[in-house]
Amino acid sequence: MDLPSASAGLGLRRGLLDALRTAPAGAFDFLECAPDNWIGVGGALGEALAELSSRHPLACHGLSLSLGGPEPLDEGFLERTRRFLERHRVPLYSEHLSYCSDDGQLYDLMPLPFTEEAVRHVAGRIARVQDVLGRRIAVENVSYYAAPWQAMDEADFVLAVLEEADCDLLLDVNNVYVNAVNHGYDARAFLARMPSARIASYHVAGHHDEAADLKIDTHGAEVRDDVWELLAEAYRLHGVRPTLLERDFNLPPLHELLEEVQRIRSLQAMAVGQGMPARAGAAHG
């Protein structure tokens, strides 16, 4: 089952469980969780997840596969992930175009070098993940603050990985904005270079303004106006896709998050009303 293109979702966080279970019908179109944080969880938390996933479509966004890492893929974890995705009928699974382990977890998303060698390495690992999971996945463009090596620019690197791995893209609009400010490139030009046919979904989130030329991707604040404008531009360029509001901490009352979800819906409705394409079957099951 696919998520409708014009759909707006909210991150499933444990601090929101009670509020999500009692939210008004139709308050959001889908929820997204990190399966890494829920695989094997039982008891009251497991029951709450099962209840929510029975009532709402559940997308999944992984945290610990370390797609670009040097260590072998954890295929046992991949098998557990496959069973989790099947159990909860997950239409869209995504991971980060980064690495997060090297002889143990690093507990951060580390940037990859933008080189042909890195393209081949990460694309081969993505292809293997797709084989084990039995589905296409989407990879997310990540925020980064230092680039270990750039033989090509970020857009070229992302495009090369998507083509080599034959996978989809989760286009994080806030990350585009943050990187564009921090590294001095044109966010709209970056968006324009992304391949419409491979975009499975979008993320938006808040960030911290450290300085005029330094933005920190925190997921701990409301979405800024510049990012909303960039999301509208993404819809104009590529069409409407399922779009998630990410908020990981400093969680406000649910009604404030739902106001941002409604803003996503409003931008989607405006884009559709203006004749922007909505890709049918945007998410792959």
Which amino acid appears at position 275 of this protein?
G
* Contacts (Cβ under 8 Å, ≥6 apart) of 36: 62, 63, 64
What tokens were used for 213? Answer: 């030329």
What tokens were used for 79? Answer: 């098998």
Distance CA 94, CA 259 (A): 25
Contact, 220 vs 206, CB < 8 A?
yes
* Structure confidence at residue 108 (pLDDT): 52
Confidence of residue 282 (pLDDT cuts 50, 70, 90): very low
- The CATH fold assigned to 8-273 is TIM Barrel (3.20.20)
Contact, 72 vs 101, CB < 8 A?
no
Q: Taking the complete model, does pTM exceed 0.85, yes or no?
A: yes
Confidence of residue 283 (pLDDT cuts 50, 70, 90): very low
**Comparison of pLDDT for 164 and 276, the residue scoring more:** 164
* Contacts (Cβ under 8 Å, ≥6 apart) of 238: 171, 191, 194, 196, 199
Give start and end residues of each alpha helix (H) in the chain: 17-21, 43-55, 75-87, 116-133, 154-165, 173-183, 187-193, 225-238, 254-273
* Structure confidence at residue 71 (pLDDT): 85
Contact, 128 vs 153, CB < 8 A?
no
Indicate the domain borders of the chain.
8-273
Q: Mean pLDDT across the stretch 244-270?
A: 96
Confidence of residue 284 (pLDDT cuts 50, 70, 90): very low
SS3 184: coil
109 pLDDT above the threshold of 70: no
Confidence of residue 276 (pLDDT cuts 50, 70, 90): confident
Distance CA 190, CA 126 (A): 23
Q: Mean pLDDT across the stretch 116-139?
A: 96
**Comparison of pLDDT for 112 and 24, the residue scoring more:** 24
